[in-house]
Amino acid sequence: MTESITITDNRTGESIEIPITSGGVAADEWEKLLPGIWFYDPAFMTTAAAESAVTFIDGDAGKLEYRGYPIEQLAESSTYLEVAYLLLHGDLPSGAELEAWVHEITYHTFIHENVRKRFLEGFHYDAHPMGILVSAVAALSTFYPEASNIFDDTIRYKQIIRLIAKMPTLAAAAHRFSAGMPFVYPDNSLSFASNFLSMMWKTAEPRFDANPALARAVDVLFILHADHEQNCSTTAMRVVGSSHVDPYSACAAACAALYGPRHGGANEQVIRMLASIGSLDNVPDFIAAVKSGHGRLQGFGHRVYKNYDPRAKIIRKAAYDVFEVTGKNPLLDIALKLEETALADEYFTSRRLYPNVDFYSGLIYQAMGFPMEMFPVLFAIPRTAGWLAHWVEMLAQDTKIARPRQLYVGSPRRDYVPLADR
């Protein structure tokens, strides 16, 4: 039996039955009964803006799957580049497909010299690396004007390769510039994560070989951040992409969304919170203050997850692998104590507040030496694969331009009053 809902317009007594399909009801059916009556749903809390086959989240159960594969299995056995292929193509690659994909990405890591010399070096010396990244990604559209041919399969694929490949180069360049250090060219003999670490940290040595445990930790963090269905930045990508602009411009909009502290900046807030708590003795007082309405426990709670964020579990484990190399982040003990205290407290359990992905990721990044300004940049590198997967999916679905309605609550019509008469 098909499940359905019935909506009755009490003004006219007319009803319409709408089938429930894939967990949703189609708004165009609603519009047949109620033309000109809009759903009021700011922030899209109850709106499914897309049909998507990329990522599945079950927030109650704390499950995350890319193309049907559980995140735990991908984090354990895959690599970021394989996951990027999976997100974009829908299936895991064969050996030959993976080799060709990795080769393509690896050989598109360089950026045009003018991007570096004329563009990046034009920023003020203390520019925020995320501000540099947003602008640099947008600027790429002027270097590859053919990218506007978004319905040409070959050209579109080329831009996807370029974007995934060049993000670490731009990200590291943004850091080096804001730290007053010279640009490091990509080393194509290295893996994706090792190459990124080389571009970040290389100084005078002829070749920078990252510690394999740290390179693997970065790769795992990239896997965990590669996609998260219709989040704020992905929605920005889809909305801007629906205008049929080139992918660099759409990606720049997605990066800009990620720049915001409510999205890509929460792990920085966690570090600041842990530093302000200062010692284990202060944890109970801090929790009591949060419960009495003074601030939030940063890195706890999630709009979708009402259970332990599965990514947080993986990151918590990865943190120990990183600390074996870097030494323990002194803030870890405070984080563990906070988690233990909160999870034993009715205030947090009754509201279903659990650690999210950001609770431990900042601790790892900080232990590895990344400045806090780089945290959203580190998020943008892998999320590019997810943004592009959603963009490709949206183009294939031939969706209309995104154009929501509004409920107008402003002034009724009135006549202009000349300045002298006001």
SS3 127: coil
Among 301, 362, 376, 382, binds ligand ACO (CB under 6 A): 301
- At how many degrees (to 10) do helices 375-396 and 80-89 cross? 20
The CB-of-41 to ligand ACO minimum distance in angstroms stands at 14
CB atoms within 10 A of CB 4: 13
Whether 294 sits among the annotated catalytic residues: the reply is: no
Q: Which residues pair with 84 in a beta bridge?
A: none
Decide if residue 263 touches ligand ACO (CB under 6 A): yes
Nearer of residues 41 and 146 to ligand ACO, judged by Cβ: 41
The CB-of-363 to ligand ACO minimum distance in angstroms stands at 14
Distance, C-alpha 87 to centroid of its chain: 14
Whether 87 contacts 54, CB under 8 Å: yes
How far is Cα 417 from Cα 422, in angstroms, rounded to an integer? 6
For the window 266-285, what string marks contact with ligand ACO as x by the rule CB under 6 A?
Answer: x-------------------
For the window 357-396, what string marks contact with ligand ACO as x by the rule CB under 6 A?
Answer: xx--------------------------------------
Decide if residue 296 touches ligand ACO (CB under 6 A): yes
Whether 302 sits among the annotated catalytic residues: the reply is: yes
Contact region with ligand ACO (CB under 6 A), list: 69-77, 95-103, 207-215, 300-308: 300-308
Q: In whole angstroms, how far apart are CA 106 and each of 110, 169, 237, 345?
A: 9, 11, 24, 48
Q: In whole angstroms, how far apart are CA 97 and each of 88, 91, 381?
A: 13, 11, 22
Decide if residue 63 touches ligand ACO (CB under 6 A): no
- The C-alpha R_g of the chain, in whole angstroms, comes to 24
Contact region with ligand ACO (CB under 6 A), list: 21-29, 31-39, 102-110, 353-361: 353-361
Residues 313-352 that bind ligand ACO (CB under 6 A): 351
Whether 81 contacts 105, CB under 8 Å: yes
| 290 dihedral zone (left: phi>0; alpha: psi -120 to 50; beta) | alpha
Whether 345 sits among the annotated catalytic residues: the reply is: no
The CB-of-420 to ligand ACO minimum distance in angstroms stands at 48
Residues that bind ligand ACO (CB under 6 A): 263, 266, 290, 296-303, 351, 353, 356-358
